């Protein structure tokens, strides 16, 4: 039987890992995983070497996604932390093109009230592009994920999960994949440290009596 597709729409490299890396690994044998990155994820920083740092993060991203079992990576060329400078229609149309081509059964993307403007725009643009029209009849499920140092830092703090994915068997894959993001990983007690990522998975797991879990807000399911 031909595998169906899952698309992860992420604003920046490492968002996919933080948001749903364990679940990606869990689903990688049953689905083709496609990850779409909207920006390079580093060019908004005050200090970076334009060529070498961008290449380094891209290579880290590729290595990380190998561990997660990603089948295809798509790098778009929008400006980092400036998605609000583009006409929303341009972003939506790019998503529509990708969705039409790969016809995913499930989509994972950002929570729409994250602190980061790119996260918010990606989330809302995905929802616009994936309205429940006949042309999108293949799309059955849409999930929002949380990203450390964005979802919990939002002034509204409204991320309330209603779907939990048991990643007890895959937490080590998630942490190993995060270690590949050498430019993004932080030291404890910062939120994007190995310790904090593991602690969040432990906390989410404890909410539903699991060892480790990733939490999502299920936006839509059609049976």
pLDDT by residue for the chain (223 residues), tens digit each?
789 999 999 999 999 999 999 999 999 999 999 999 999 877 555 555 566 788 899 999 999 999 999 999 999 989 999 999 999 999 999 999 999 999 999 999 999 999 999 999 999 999 999 999 999 999 999 999 999 999 999 998 999 999 999 999 999 999 999 999 998 999 999 999 999 999 999 999 999 999 999 999 999 999 9
- In the chain, where the domains are located: 4-221
Identify which of 194, 203, 148 has the alpha carbon closest to the alpha carbon of residue 172: 194
Q: Give CA–CA dist 140/171, Å, rounded.
A: 26
Alpha-carbon 170 to chain mean position: 16
Q: Give CA–CA dist 113/191, Å, rounded.
A: 18
Alpha helices in 69-149 (DSSP H): 88-102, 117-129
Alpha helices in 29-87 (DSSP H): 52-68
Identify which of 87, 104, 94, 89 has the alpha carbon closest to the alpha carbon of residue 38: 94
Show the tokens assigned to 208: 């539903």
87: Cβ contacts below 8 Å, ≥ 6 apart:
none
Output the pTM of the full model.
Answer: 0.95
CATH 3.40.50.10320 is held by the domain 4-221: yes
* Cis peptide bond N-terminal to 189, omega within 30: yes
Q: 142 pairs with which residues across the strands? A: 107, 220
* 8 Å CB contact between 213 and 205: yes
């Amino acid at each position: 039987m031909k595998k169906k597709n899952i698309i992860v729409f992420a604003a920046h490299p490492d968002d996919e890992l933080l948001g749903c890396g364990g679940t990606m690994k869990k689903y990688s044998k049953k689905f083709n995983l496609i990850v779409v990155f909207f920006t390079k994820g580093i060019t908004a920083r005050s200090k970076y070497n334009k060529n070498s740092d961008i290449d380094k993060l891209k290579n880290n991203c590729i290595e990380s996604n190998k561990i997660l079992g990603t089948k295809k990576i798509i790098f778009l060329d929008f400006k980092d932390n400036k998605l609000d400078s583009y006409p929303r229609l341009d972003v939506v149309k790019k998503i529509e093109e990708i969705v039409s081509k790969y016809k995913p059964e499930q989509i994972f993307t950002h929570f729409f009230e994250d602190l980061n403007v790119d996260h918010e725009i990606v989330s809302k643009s995905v929802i616009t592009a994936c309205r429940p029209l006949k042309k999108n009849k293949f799309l059955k499920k849409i999930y929002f994920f949380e990203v450390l140092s964005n979802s919990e830092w939002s002034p509204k703090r409204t991320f309330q999960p209603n779907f939990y994915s048991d990643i007890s068997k895959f937490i080590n894959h998630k942490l190993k994949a995060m270690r590949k993001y050498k430019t993004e990983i932080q030291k404890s007690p910062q939120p994007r440290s190995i310790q904090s990522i593991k602690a969040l998975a432990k906390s989410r797991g404890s909410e539903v009596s699991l060892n480790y879990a990733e939490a999502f807000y299920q936006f839509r399911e059609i049976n």
